Chain A
Amino acid sequence: MALDPELFEACRAADPLAWRRLYRLYAGRVFRWAVVKGLRPAEAEDAAQEALAIASKRFAQCHAPQAFDAWLYQITRKVVANTRRRAWWRRVLPMEQPPEPAFVDGPGPEVERAVRTCLARLPADQAEVLFLFDIEGFSREEVADLIGRPPGTVASRLRLGREAFRRLWAELGPVALPTVEEA
């Protein structure tokens, strides 16, 4: 999905009404990125606010509407990494809890929890490729650009990630899945 060029130009002209529209368009998506990358819903909400605010302050660095999604993803990735770094205490304290559901129109709380648990247990580089390719729908070349690796590496991580995810799913996933048609 590329950003509407007219909206891009209005944001570039620092039009606050355009920024509000853009935030509305991307709030849910950035939140999803943050949740699937391992943040709790409350942390993801805060991270989404932070990522969008940073995007508006550094918008001059985004050179084209087609590049906006990838650029915003990179910002979100850094914000999520910082948030996880700040939450170091969670890693050292034995407070492991099942993730709370974050979405209202997703596949349902059981499936959502299971997907997030499986992704959290995958190697981070495989989980990221899986997330970008299978959930967010970026192309192989876009994913390669986003993570700074050649397309061959992306393909390899994707294959390994899918295998590992299916194994984990067989072990941890709920029994029945809703019927989903791939777009």
Chain B
Amino acid sequence: MSARETDTAPEALVALRGARPAPAVENRIVEGALARAMGPRPRPVWPWLVAGAAAAAAVFFGLSRPPAVPEGAEPVAALGVESAPAAPTTAPTTAPAELRYVAQGDDAVYRVETPGINQKVVHLSAGTATFEVAPVPAGGLFAVQTPHGRVEVVGTRFTVAVGARCSRVSVSEGRVRVRRDHEAFLVPAGESREVCRGGEAGEGLMGRAQEDLAAGRLDDARRGFEAYLELAPGGLFAEDALFHLALLARRSGDVAARREATERFLARFPTGPRAERLRSPGP
């Protein structure tokens, strides 16, 4: 074999440079790696071994009696550790404000800022991204900032799509608070809202009405929705306002008010799941 031959790479090897698997295989690798990286980590076994050994030693030396509770001491549950409300997400999470799953379109343009501990802001300037976030603790923050507004997470799964004039937020689990300038409104699960450049007339009114609704201040909410419809009868949130008014009327038990509010909604929005729900005879 000549010296020149051993100085150059065999052509067959060079032919394999840059060889790639099928796109479907690449996709499976990406999704699988994400799932493995973000999934729950297996619990180590050694703490159980140590605990077991300690318990056995305690029994052996006759120390298994529970220690007396000092006067004035509170049990752990009363301090809120065990009595904390259940998290609104459906799966266990490992850290506050941690993303458990993210899917974004190929068009998503973003950067992530970490302004403080447990605080993360995704600046999404174009495209669409879906987020699933663990509940955010007091003082923590997880937000998606778009050119049209800011979406703050309470503990949920939601999609933000940035368009030329508006950003649309669709919430599938939990709820989010949408802020623009000094106004804010809540978007509950199963609903979506648009935040547009320049804002919509009465957007603040709607936001407050929805917050009143979420807080159980039903009369204030009703007045807020009516005020919005008076200000912007053909506005972006008219369907929401009419729908909530119809639901409030159903809840009040006043048959005449219920019929009137339902007809008012159906006159403008006769089709869709909301119309079907209002046509149903339930409470």
Bound-state Cα–Cα, A49 to B27, Å: 10
Interface check B267, CB cutoff 8 A? no
Docked-complex contact A19 and B9, CB < 8 angstroms? no
CB distance from A99 to the nearest CB of B (A): 13
> Which residues from chain B contact A162 at a C-beta distance below 8 Å?
5-6, 8-10
A80 an interface residue at 8 Å Cβ cutoff? no
Residues of chain A within 8 A (CB-CB) of B20 are 28, 31-32, 103-106
Contact B29 A115 (CB under 8 A): no
Give the A interface residue count (CB, 8 A): 57
Closest B residue by C-beta to A181: B14
The residues of A that contact B99 with a CB separation of less than 8 Å are 16
- In the complex, which residue of chain A has the Cβ closest to the Cβ of B9? A134
How far in angstroms is the closest Cβ of chain A from B109? 10
Q: Is the CB of A49 within 8 A of B29?
A: yes
The prevalent SS among residues of A at the interface is helix
Tell which of B10, B12, B38 has the most Cβ of chain A within 10 Å.
B12
Chain B: interface residue count, which band?
Answer: 35 or more
Q: Is the CB of B33 within 8 A of A177?
A: no
Q: Chain B: which residue is nearest A52 at the CB level? A: B33
Contact partners of B112 in chain A: CB under 8 A:
10, 13, 15, 17-18
Task: Please tell me which one of the listed residues A17, A23, A104 contacts residue B30 in the complex, with CB atoms under 8 A apart.
Answer: A23
- The reply on B182 being an interface residue by CB < 8 A is no
A residues in contact with B21, CB < 8 Å:
28, 31-32, 41, 45, 102-104
Contact B22 A134 (CB under 8 A): no
Of the listed stretches A87-95, A146-154, A165-173, chain B binds A165-173
Partner of A31, one of B10, B13, B25, B122: B25
Bound complex: CA of A169 vs CA of B16, how far in Å?
Answer: 14
Q: Mark B19-54, 1 if CB is under 8 A from A, else 0.
A: 111100110111011101110000000000000000
Q: Is the CB of B25 within 8 A of A45?
A: yes
Q: Does B17 contact A (CB under 8 A)?
A: yes
Contact present for B30 and A20 (CB under 8 Å): yes
Is B108 an interface position by the 8 A CB rule? yes
CA distance A40 to B26 in the complex (A): 15
Given contacts A50-B36, A163-B1, A165-B10, contact A23 B15 (CB under 8 A): no
CB-based closest 9 A-B pairs: A106-B19, A107-B15, A53-B36, A49-B32, A52-B33, A134-B9, A103-B19, A28-B20, A27-B29
Give me 27 A-to-B residue pairs in the complex whose CB atoms sit less than 8 angstroms apart, sorted by A's number: A16-B102, A17-B122, A17-B129, A23-B33, A31-B25, A45-B32, A49-B28, A49-B32, A50-B36, A53-B32, A103-B19, A104-B22, A106-B19, A107-B12, A107-B15, A111-B12, A111-B15, A111-B16, A115-B13, A115-B15, A133-B9, A134-B14, A162-B10, A180-B14, A180-B15, A182-B9, A183-B17
Give A residues with C-beta under 8 Å from B: 10, 13, 15-20, 23-24, 27-28, 30-32, 36, 41, 45-46, 48-50, 52-53, 56-57, 102-107, 111-112, 114-115, 118, 130-131, 133-137, 159, 162-163, 165-167, 169, 173, 177-178, 180, 182-183
